[in-house]
Amino acid sequence: MTLEITLGPLLFNWPAEDIAAFYERMACEPLVRRIYLGEVVCGKREPLAAATLLAAAALLRDAGKEVVWSTLGLISTPRDRRLLQGIAQQDELQLLELNDLAAMSLLPPDRTFVAGPLLNIYNGSAAQILIDRGCERLCGNIELSLAAIGEIHRACPDLEIEIFGFGRLPLALSARCHHARQAGLSKDTCRFVCDRDPDGQTVQTLEGAAFLSINGIQTLSHGVHTVAASPEDLRTAGVRAVRLSPHACDMSAVIAAYGRYFETGDRGRLLAQLRACDLPGPLVDGYLEGAPGMRLAADL
Amino acid sequence: MPFSAERLFARVLTDLTLALRPPVEMLLNLAVRRAWQRSANAFGRLGRFQGHPYLIDPEDLPVAFELTLNAHGGAVKVVRRPLQPLGYVAEISGELMDLLALFDGSADADATFFAGGLTVRGDTGAVLALHNALEAADLRLADLLVPAALAPGLDPVLQRIVDWRRAARRTGGKPHGVH
Amino acid sequence: MGSIELVCPAGSPAMLEAAIEAGADSVYCGLRDETNARNFPGLNFDAAELRRAVNFAHQKGAKVLVAINTFARAGGEERWRTSVMTAVAAGADAIIAADLAVLAHVRELSSTVRLHLSVQAAANTPEAIRFYVETFGVRRVVVPRVMSASEIADLIKESPAEIEAFVFGGLCVMTEGRCALSSYVSGQSPNLSGVCSPPEAVSFERTAEGMVSRLSGLALDKTPPGATAGYPTLCKGRFATDGDATYLFEEPTSLNAMGLLASLRQAGVKAVKIEGRQRGKAYVARVTRAFRKAIDALDRGESTAPFEHMLTDLAEGGRETEGAYNKRWR
């Protein structure tokens, strides 16, 4: 079975017209069957993008894509809670991806769901508890090594496993908005300054080494993560799908590069093609091998 | 190397101290054994750093000390200050009183750990382990390096100096991040 | 015990005794391995030490809460099961856990042992708490340090479990259990290995302009000669986006919410927690004593003001903050 390519939820605060144009392009991507939509990072952004995303969902469904609705990674305000309640009870959104376990007590018992990468599912027993509650797919936490994923697969062979396979890594969430703080504002009065950085704002050390990026309340890697394993090793570990996280670069080229890689296993070519895509940072690939996530990807 | 009277003096002092090494080491080892007897489990807390030599290097003394501890005891050697790294698991250097304060267990670990004036080379984890092991066992570096048998009256005096030094540079420490 | 339970850290048996002698109602501690989120070299308890510690605490009328609060490694879950068995066998008064697998192991082993939800699970809504209460019978939830006092008060109104809140010590600006900064740089993190900024990846370089602290080679901060440098964690470093370097995520301050004890009690907070299992017995004795006095004063209807500045020198760079409890922090 060939590896499935999915498109993860957009993590950044793009203008509505850019979001609409992006999903219009993605509707025409034959290699992508499943697309995750929804505001995952900041509840304040959600009303800005909601109408655009709902329109995109209809467009994508008409184009034959399976749309999965991703929920907020950190539920913190009464507004976030109401939003989650609303989403959990809407049948027409069909499959949901949960990124905060708060959703578990809101979801009707018969609803199936995807456990998102922002949940802390690190082992088979934890996965089994979610499976018993309707989880049909797990997108592994970014810290999991391929060996750990293989163990989860062995413990839960029927669970579909997806991994985060391309993009700046979602490393942390905070109650504080880093973008607002940078601009001398607070989270509550942020003026949505995170819209300045379509791939997040790069963070450098005192010595000028770029290593992280900030995106509102989220901290991402500066490096752009890619998979360190061969398609065969991924399949052996039980990986069924690889998630590409949207960036401002040419995502069609990224999708094409992964599609070719899963057919040929030619990693040198994957890296070369990705590097030609005007990425926001260098390619990194440590996590799958249990190494530091910022390890630079090297041709094998 | 150009001639320097100071350097020559230091050299002579080091040689003299090293000549006195056997009786000094005997006393030091006695101190380690006593410390071990007082809290037998203490050195086991060093975990993977058991049996690895640490260099304790008081820059205001003519010599340095090599400290090796394990679950069954340990040893202290008086050594010449190395000119280059010699494979110690960690080297901690600074003025004697700063070194004693780092390991005296009566202060907030975070506040003293990186107090000004000390230099840590090698594995920071090894230094943390030594600190935590001595702290957990109610031992101080002074218990290992300053044999009470040699100077029974020295201990309270030493403690007063250590306390005074700490009060003088009380600037606070820093928690380690997680909970 | 007063109106609020005072929960204090113990990184070693000596520290546990010091905390209890100083007036702790409960102490929390972990076993000496990756099953607890303070897996630093030389810290924590082995099985025999834990047994003795529980006996000591019970003789003194105090409780021992055992933190098994990391996420079990896939394929290595046996170690977490063993820790749960060790804690239950030692007579622990509660187990503090975050991982669904560990919570389930505890319940498989005992239907009666008290479960506290670790801050590492970052449960900050009634919905999240309800999930843990209904699924595992969790009795108490330690809430993230990123919540404000009024948010905690609102949460308590709807929470089906008791609430415990941090009042002193280190401050995580990132939501606990949702941060992989440390593993991104060093390969180890709180969730993966129970350690943030692992000491073996930490180094210091003394230069003419001062001391540079590094994690896996990356410069986190530079302090002038003679100044005290803190233990380097990524979220407390100085970084730049497009201008000058600043403390981008968090100023090097630490939490002291003693001034808010009265309002936390008013809100219905059941227990308050001191951070710092790695900070030694002198630290725990001083902080415990100060908070003991403050809680006792509150219970006599007096002010906590006389005790509020007793601990300033223990804060990072002497600077304290009421953290997220004070909404301005955001």
The per-residue pLDDT for range A108-146, each reduced to its tens digit, is 888 899 999 999 999 999 999 999 999 999 999 999 999
C179 and A287: CB-CB below 8 Å?
Answer: no
Kindly give the interhelix angle for C47-59 and C77-90, rounded to the nearest 10 degrees. Answer: 30
Option in B105, B117, B119 nearest C226 (CB): B117
Q: Is residue A192 in a domain?
A: no
Nearest CA in chain C to B109: C279
- Enumerate the β-bridge partners of residue C27: C8, C64
What is the 3-state composition of chain B as percent helix, strand, coil, each rounded to the nearest 5? Answer: 50, 15, 35
C228 and B114: CB-CB below 8 Å?
Answer: yes
C interface test, pick of A42, A101, A294 with most C CB neighbours within 10 Å: A101
Which among C171, C198, C184, C176 is positioned nearest to C315, based on CA atoms?
C171
Which among A194, A155, A158, A162 is positioned nearest to A178, based on CA atoms?
A194
Q: What is the pLDDT of residue B107?
A: 57
Those residues whose C-beta lies under 8 Å from the C-beta of residue A54, and which sit 6 or more positions away, are none
Identify which has the larger pLDDT, B143 or A153.
A153
- What separation in angstroms does the CA of A111 have from each of A45, A104, A209, C130, C145? 26, 10, 46, 18, 33
Which among A253, A246, A294 is positioned nearest to A275, based on CA atoms?
A253
User: Where do we find the tokens 């300054």?
Assistant: A193
Q: Which residues of B touch C313 (CB under 8 A)?
A: 111, 170, 172
* Residue B58: strand, helix, or coil: strand
Q: What is the pLDDT of residue B149?
A: 46
Number of domains within chain A: 1
Q: What is the pLDDT of residue A70?
A: 95
The per-residue pLDDT for range A47-57, each reduced to its tens digit, is 888 899 999 99
Q: Is residue A107 in a domain?
A: yes
Beta-strand pair C218-223/C254-256: unpaired
Q: Which residues of A touch C128 (CB under 8 A)?
A: 75, 100-102, 104-105
Residues in chain C: 330
User: Between vectors from CA C240 to CA C238 and to CA C246, what angle results, nearest 5°?
Assistant: 45
Nearest CA in chain A to C184: A293
Residues of chain C within CATH 3.20.20.70 domain(s) are 5-171+253-329
- Residue C128's region, left for phi above 0, alpha for psi from -120 to 50, else beta, is alpha
The per-residue pLDDT for range B107-125, each reduced to its tens digit, is 555 555 555 567 788 888 8
Distance of CA A78 to the CA centre of its chain: 25
Q: What is the mean pLDDT of residues A23-30?
A: 97
Q: Is residue A243 in a domain?
A: yes
Q: What is the 3-state secondary structure (H, E, C) of C311-327?
A: CHHHCHHHCEECHHHCH
DSSP letter at B46 equals: G
**Class of C5-171+253-329 per CATH?**
alpha beta
- Computed over every residue of chain A, the mean pLDDT equals 94
Option in A120, A154, A287 nearest C71 (CB): A120
pLDDT band at B148 (very low <50, low <70, confident <90, very high): very low
Hey, what domains does chain B have and what are their CATH numbers? 21-168 (3.30.1050.10)
Residues in chain A: 300
CA distance B1 to chain C (A): 24
- Computed over every residue of chain B, the mean pLDDT equals 74
Q: Which residues of A touch C328 (CB under 8 A)?
A: 186
Q: Which residues of C touch B176 (CB under 8 A)?
A: 40, 170, 196-197, 231, 233, 278
Evaluate the CA torsion angle A115, A121, A126, A127 in order and state its sign: positive
A interface test, pick of C77, C103, C127, C222 with most A CB neighbours within 10 Å: C127
Identify which has the larger pLDDT, C60 or B170.
C60
Residues in chain B: 179
Identify which has the larger pLDDT, B158 or A100.
A100
Cβ atoms of A238 and A152 within 8 Å: the answer is yes
Q: Which residues of B touch C118 (CB under 8 A)?
A: 179
Q: Is residue A136 in a domain?
A: yes
pLDDT band at C315 (very low <50, low <70, confident <90, very high): low
Which among C100, C124, B143 is positioned nearest to A156, based on CA atoms?
C100
Query: Does chain A reach chain C with at least 3 CB pairs under 8 Å?
Result: yes
Q: Is residue A182 in a domain?
A: no
DSSP A94-161: -SEEESSGGGGGTS-TT--EEEPTTS---SHHHHHHHHTTTEEEEE--TT--HHHHHHHHHH-TTSEE
User: Could you list the residue range(s) of the whole structural domain that residue A273 is in?
Assistant: 4-169+224-281
Evaluate the CA torsion angle A109, A112, A116, A121 in order and state its sign: positive
C41 and B169: CB-CB below 8 Å?
Answer: no
C interface test, pick of B45, B48, B134, B178 with most C CB neighbours within 10 Å: B178
DSSP letter at C238 equals: -
Those residues whose C-beta lies under 8 Å from the C-beta of residue C212, and which sit 6 or more positions away, are A206, C204, C205, C219, C221, C222
Option in C42, C196, C283 nearest B128 (CB): C42
Return the minimum-mean-pLDDT range out of A49-58, A147-156, B102-111: B102-111
Identify which has the larger pLDDT, A51 or C310.
A51
B interface test, pick of C69, C256, C279, C311 with most B CB neighbours within 10 Å: C279
Distance of CA C243 to the CA centre of its chain: 34
Cβ atoms of C191 and A171 within 8 Å: the answer is no
Calpha distance A44→B38 (Å, rounded):
60
Distance of CA C245 to the CA centre of its chain: 29
Q: Both tokens of residue C237?
A: 């470093």
Calpha distance C244→B57 (Å, rounded):
38
User: Where do we find the tokens 């890619």?
Assistant: A226
Option in A144, A173, A177 nearest C174 (CB): A173
A287 and C135: CB-CB below 8 Å?
Answer: no
Q: Is residue A126 in a domain?
A: yes
Q: Does residue A169 surpass a pLDDT of 90?
A: yes
Cβ atoms of C76 and C55 within 8 Å: the answer is no
pLDDT band at B98 (very low <50, low <70, confident <90, very high): confident
The per-residue pLDDT for range B1-53, each reduced to its tens digit, is 456 777 777 777 788 777 777 877 877 788 788 877 877 677 888 889 999 99
C280 and B125: CB-CB below 8 Å?
Answer: no
Option in A118, A124, A182 nearest C241 (CB): A182
User: Where do we find the tokens 């109408």?
Assistant: A51
Nearest CA in chain B to C33: B47
